[in-house]
A and B are shown apart, each in its own frame.
Chain A
């Protein structure tokens, strides 16, 4: 056995709360992507159809999204989109080997998590 040999087997702590930032970005990117596929995208298509279809539909859904609870739900969907957006840009940069080292990758993961929340808060603040 060489001195450099690492202890095996390795046990990684895969508990979500203990994941390092890049792991959190990754799993949220996956979960947000799946939720955007369903139910968020069909909900948006339905809203597009209903608000374009008739004046009553437009007024009804405008009033609906003036309710605080509906606004919060919409902001939740916006947060999923925003996270997916910023995490995706990070992955495109990593594909180009920009920030590929461990330290900058960890920093950019934190930046992605913060930007997703900030963008959601900014939209929520302008909208409220």
Chain B
């Protein structure tokens, strides 16, 4: 007789989200310390300084990595908040959709700022 082995609850994306929320937090913490030290050591006084700093290869990539980490982190965090307070499925789904769209917009906007003219 075949035993019932299928796990009845969850798609198990919760653990992945939980772990990624922490990994992205570590990336952001490292960036925060790095960027703060950088700005204190080389304060940008003109737009040219500022532009050169932000478009420098390493800092631009690190900034984009930071923003990507932030957006994923924000998704997990906002989803947690919405799941806690919005109990009507339709309302929660709508709110989560808005958050996802806003995050996608932030991502495209950030990339266009960092790589634009």
A interface residues, Cβ below 8 angstroms from B: 30, 33-34, 36-38, 41-42, 45, 48-49, 51-52, 54-55, 57-58, 81, 85, 88-89, 92, 95, 126
Contacts and interface: CB of A to CB of B under 8 A. Distances in A.
A71 B87 CA distance: 39
B29 A37 contact: no
Contact of B109 (A45, A58, A81): A45
B63 to A, nearest CB: 9
Contacts of A52: 47, 50-51, 54, 113
Contacts of A42: 106
Contacts of B102: 37-38
B26 A92 contact: yes
Q: Residue among A30, A42, A52 with the most chain B CB within 10 A? A: A52
Q: What secondary structure prevails in chain B residues at the interface with A?
A: helix
B46 interface: yes
Contacts of B29: 85, 88-89
Contacts of B22: 92, 95
Given A38-B102, A85-B29, A88-B29, A48 B113 contact: yes
A126 B36 CA distance: 13
A51 B25 contact: no
A119 to B, nearest CB: 10
B50 A34 contact: no
A99 B58 CA distance: 36
